[in-house]
Amino acid sequence: MSPSQIIRKDLAPLVETMLEKLGEDPKREGLLKTPERVAKSFEYLTGGYRAELEEVVNEAIFHESVSEMVLVRDIEFYSLCEHHLLPFFGKVHVAYLPAGKVIGLSKLPRIVEMYARRLQVQERMTTEIAEAVQKVLQPQGVAVVAEAAHLCMMMRGVAKQSSITTTSCMLGDFRSDSRTRGEFLSLIRGG
């Protein structure tokens, strides 16, 4: 049995119990397949636990003698808040200053997705992404900014629908050089 099948087999009965505890009848027509659908959904939404950085990067690191900033902006992501299991979603901007190596551009969104597809807090996710890029490239610097809307703030609690949370992690030259950091921040604002 694959890890995915095990997850689904173990989660579906728990979802059925949850429906009963909420006062629902899991045997009614509209809910008959809900436990299996929820289990499959959670398996997908937490797929980052079953991914390894080395597999995601897949040897897509190339030696290049460039040193100017590389930026991939507006990487969409969806994650689940570990406190309420409600979605948060938005965009991540990832930049690095090469030190003899570059990474295939599609690998940066894949790294973002690997960490987003876990139960998360945005602050930790932002740092994990930056540290992963640092680990695989050893660049002069890494900058990551994440901007997200959190349904746990929008649907419950303070119920503020227009709030956006912004987090950042700056490593190397992005942390120590205000001009480099300023250039990055200007670029992600579209300037």
Q: How far apart (Å, rounded) are the C-alpha atoms in residues 95 and 93?
A: 7
Active-site option among 54, 55, 64, 83 = 83
128's enclosing H/E stretch is helix 122-137
169 is catalytic: no
Is-catalytic flag, 93?
A: no
63 is catalytic: no
| Catalytic annotation, pick one of 81, 93, 140, 183 | 81
Q: Is 36 a catalytic residue?
A: no
111 secondary structure, DSSP code: H
Choose the catalytic residue: 113, 150, 169, 183.
Answer: 150
* Catalytic residue from among 24, 36, 138, 152: 152
CA 152 – CA 149 distance, rounded (Å) = 9
Catalytic residue among 43, 113, 122, 140: 122
150 with 86: CB under 8 angstroms? yes
Q: Which residue has the tokens 């139960």?
A: 119
**Residue 142 in contact with residue 171, Cβ under 8 Å?**
yes
Which candidate in 55, 64, 82, 123 is catalytic?
82
Q: Looking at 84, 131, 138, 147, which residue is catalytic? A: 84
Q: Please, what sign has the CA dihedral across residues 83, 85, 90, 92?
A: positive
Task: Clarify whether 122 is annotated catalytic.
Answer: yes
Active site residues: 81-84, 122, 150, 152
